[in-house]
Amino acid sequence: MKILAIETSCDETSVAVLENDEVLVNLISSQEIHKKFGGVVPELSSRAHLQIVLPLVKSALKKSHIKKEEIDLVAATAGPGLIGALLVGLTFGKSFAYSINKPFFPVNHIEGHIFSGFLMDEKPEYPFLCLVVSGGHTLLLNGESPVKIFQLGSTIDDAAGEAFDKVSKLIGLGYPGGPNIEKQSKLGKDFIDFPIAKLNSKYDFSYSGLKTAVLRYYQDFTSHPENYKEVSINDIASSFQKAAVNALIEKLLLAISEKDFNSISVVGGVAANSLLQSKLKEIGDKKKIKIVIPALEYCGDNAAMIGLRAYQLFSEGLVYDYETNAFPSLHNNTFITKQ
């Protein structure tokens, strides 16, 4: 089965072609236009998707040596995401599927991330503990099967990636926050003690206290430089990164101590973080549990994961029609159950 998949939920336009669950081509075009605004501007994002989606589809078909008539199924992200951006990919996908008279699959973006580890040769094994750490979501989940996903916890305020982005902007490291913080952290030391939130619900996350602590520290650092002669911005970045990553690791360790999982998969943009990855490797070695982190091109937003998710759902016997619509929130069109 040949699948054409489209992802346009935020600031990456991505098109992939898959043969069943094998990726033939995965093209990603990142929108540079947002850099000068320090964050994603929704309307500019929609326009940029509109300009690039057709050339990208043509290029993906050409690179995979597949004619459009040979496509068996078309998939596109339907949500959650920026509504204008979503509509571009979704409408394009529906029209394309209709024009070649093939089925269309709307895919939940977060479900795409959750199963992105299955794009790797070494796949997660069910039941797997999944930590989704993206720019918009932080979720801890129990993946029991492709259609049985239980939410154990989520952030009560900022998402992990959002915290990286906001702190980066705050301390003058700009956009994109996560990669910039990681880069500068390598030049600094993590000796500043920033707090990790303690919450009543044991699997939930919170980043607002950490963000405020960094803000206060930075304000004092800039207004009283004489007191901070031994401290650099890189040290602040590095100390923030340590606290942000430890907050995630704490919950992962708690979950595997309370329930038996056959593997752990950490997915989404923040999964690209090398400190997080090294801590996960340590856990894997120490606890003898399989850890699956998607390759870099599958951590951030990509259409390959959307195609794979459509393939999984098709294999489960699901069908959709062309009437499907875009949705902005997580718990629409999803197999994730809140526990």
**Which parts of this chain interact with ligand KG4 (CB under 6 A)?**
10, 134-136, 161-162, 164-165, 176-179, 182, 268-270, 272-273, 300-301
Q: How far is residue 92's CA from residue 52's CA, in Å, rounded to a whole number?
A: 12
Please tell me the number of Cα atoms within 13 Å of 181 on its side-chain side: 34
Sheet holding 2-7, edge to edge: 22-30, 12-19, 2-7, 73-79, 104-108
The residue ranges that bind Zn ion (CB under 5 A) are 134, 301
Q: How far is residue 9's CA from residue 23's CA, in Å, rounded to a whole number?
A: 20
DSSP state of 147: T
Nearer of residues 97 and 264 to ligand KG4, judged by Cβ: 264
Least distance CB 256 / ligand KG4 (angstroms): 22
**What amino acid is encoded at 60 in this protein?**
A
Task: From the list Zn ion, ligand KG4, none, pick the one residue 112 interacts with, judged by a Cβ distance below 5 to 8 Å according to partner type.
Answer: none
Tell me whether residue 321 is exposed, middle or buried, using C-beta atoms within 10 angstroms of its C-beta: 0 to 12, 13 to 18, 19 or more: exposed
Q: Which sign, positive or negative, has the C-alpha torsion 255, 256, 259, 262?
A: positive
Least distance CB 259 / ligand KG4 (angstroms): 25
Cα dist. 91→8, 50, 67, 320 in Å? 11, 10, 20, 14
Nearer of residues 235 and 301 to ligand KG4, judged by Cβ: 301
Nearer of residues 94 and 113 to ligand KG4, judged by Cβ: 113
3-state secondary structure of 136: coil
Nearer of residues 108 and 239 to Zn ion, judged by Cβ: 108
Check: CB of residue 195 under 8 Å from CB of residue 213: yes
Least distance CB 71 / ligand KG4 (angstroms): 25
Task: From the list Zn ion, ligand KG4, none, pick the one residue 117 interacts with, judged by a Cβ distance below 5 to 8 Å according to partner type.
Answer: none
Nearer of residues 124 and 188 to Zn ion, judged by Cβ: 124
Least distance CB 273 / ligand KG4 (angstroms): 3
Task: From the list ligand KG4, Zn ion, none, pick the one residue 307 interacts with, judged by a Cβ distance below 5 to 8 Å according to partner type.
Answer: none
Least distance CB 300 / Zn ion (angstroms): 7
Task: From the list Zn ion, ligand KG4, none, pick the one residue 79 interacts with, judged by a Cβ distance below 5 to 8 Å according to partner type.
Answer: none
Task: From the list ligand KG4, Zn ion, none, pick the one residue 153 interacts with, judged by a Cβ distance below 5 to 8 Å according to partner type.
Answer: none
Least distance CB 253 / ligand KG4 (angstroms): 20
**What is the enclosing helix (H) or strand (E) of 267?**
strand 263-267
Task: From the list ligand KG4, Zn ion, none, pick the one residue 176 interacts with, judged by a Cβ distance below 5 to 8 Å according to partner type.
Answer: ligand KG4
Nearer of residues 80 and 188 to Zn ion, judged by Cβ: 80
Nearer of residues 53 and 71 to ligand KG4, judged by Cβ: 53
Check: CB of residue 293 under 8 Å from CB of residue 283: no
Least distance CB 135 / Zn ion (angstroms): 7
Task: From the list ligand KG4, Zn ion, none, pick the one residue 182 interacts with, judged by a Cβ distance below 5 to 8 Å according to partner type.
Answer: ligand KG4
Cα dist. 64→43, 60, 76, 202 in Å? 31, 6, 18, 46
Check: CB of residue 324 under 8 Å from CB of residue 106: yes
